[in-house]
Structure 1
Amino acid sequence: MSLTLVVLAVITVVLLSMVLVLYFMLRSLKAKLMLLEAQVQAYPLLMEELQTGIAEQQAFMRAMDEKHGHRGLEHEQVSKQLTHRVKVVQDELTKVKEMFEHYQEQQPEDKLYSRAYKLAELGADVEEIINECDLPRAEAEMLLSVYKKKIR
């Protein structure tokens, strides 16, 4: 009987040890389960935060696209206005040049001097200017002197 009692005592100790191990394992698993449950419960909140953040970013991007779209339109309009103004100024400049040329053509004395000056620009000497423009030698020499000082 004593052997039986010893075996029963050993079996009881083993069973109690196993129960204690199982108890601690169950406690550990329960803690892990609670942690997992908390994480699972947090996922919808995280998803909601992420979706809100995405929606805010999309709204920001739309606002920036709209802002840049308006600026692009403004730049295009300003560019068109400037192009128009440049064309108007060029047209006015052309008219002024034409008026100036017309005025020069109406001044007979000036016409001779203008022609003489152009000859000087083309490299004519004093004799050529005298012959072509019917200018006195002194005037032709003076004109050449003025032209040479100008190009220096």
Structure 2
Amino acid sequence: MLLLALKNRFAKQIDELQQQVNSQEIQLLELQDLLASSQSQLDINQKLCSESQIENEQVSKQLEHRIKVTQEQFNNKFQTIEQLLHQQPEDKLYTRAQKLVELGADIAEIMRECDIPRAEAEMLLSVHRQKISK
């Protein structure tokens, strides 16, 4: 009887252990499936990341080119402004005389304000009148 009780007890323990093994095998299969799914998603994410990085590098190169072109344009315009600022004083006087003509100044005022000869003041007025009449 004692042997039978021990046998039943051991059989019960074996059944419990077998159930635990079966349960762990199921968990192992589920974890393997989850690992495969995670690996697949990781591969997809790495591919997307790589594509995104390539696209970002291309955009960066385009932006660098645009910045370079814009900087060159800025430098050219800056040089033009510098040249205009350093023009000979006579050029500034004629520019001022032209503005006075456009504002309706007479010959005497143009001669006095810009220190230019009468003939040149008359010529500026004449050119201005021709522009207006067109």
* Alignment TM class, shorter chain as reference: 0.5 to 0.7
CA distance in structure 2 between the partners assigned to 1:28 and 1:49 by the alignment: 31
Q: Name 2:125's counterpart in structure 1.
A: none
Quickly say closer, same or farther: Cα 1:44–1:90, change in 2 above 3 A.
Answer: farther
1:34 partner amino acid? D
Give the secondary-structure state (helix, strand or coil) at the position aligned to 2:17. helix
CA distance in structure 1 between the partners assigned to 2:52 and 2:7 by the alignment: 66
Q: Name 2:104's counterpart in structure 1.
A: none
Q: CA RMSD in A?
A: 2.7
1:75 partner amino acid? F
Q: Name 1:52's counterpart in structure 2.
A: 51
Cα shift at 1:57: 1.2
Unaligned runs of 5+ in 1: 103-152
Q: Name 1:16's counterpart in structure 2.
A: 15
Cα shift at 1:35: 0.7
Aligned length in residues:
101
CA distance in structure 1 between the partners assigned to 2:69 and 2:19 by the alignment: 74
Q: 1:86-123 CA deviation, whole Å, 9 max, x = no partner? A: 23353524799xx9499xxxxxxxxxxxxxxxxxxxxx
Q: Name 2:65's counterpart in structure 1.
A: 66
CA distance in structure 1 between the partners assigned to 2:61 and 2:90 by the alignment: 43
CA distance in structure 1 between the partners assigned to 2:52 and 2:71 by the alignment: 28
CA distance in structure 2 between the partners assigned to 1:59 and 1:8 by the alignment: 75
Q: Name 1:33's counterpart in structure 2.
A: 32
Bigger Cα displacement from structure 2, 86-95 vs 51-60:
86-95
2:47 partner amino acid? E
Q: Percent identity?
A: 6
| Structure 1 segments (4+ residues) deviating >6 Å | none
Q: Greater relative contact order (Cα 8 A, min sep 6): structure 1 or 2?
A: 2
Normalising by structure 2, report the TM-score.
0.63
CA distance in structure 2 between the partners assigned to 1:90 and 1:32 by the alignment: 87
Give the secondary-structure state (helix, strand or coil) at the position aligned to 1:88. coil
Unaligned runs of 5+ in 2: 95-110, 118-134
Normalising by structure 1, report the TM-score.
0.56
Q: Name 2:77's counterpart in structure 1.
A: 78
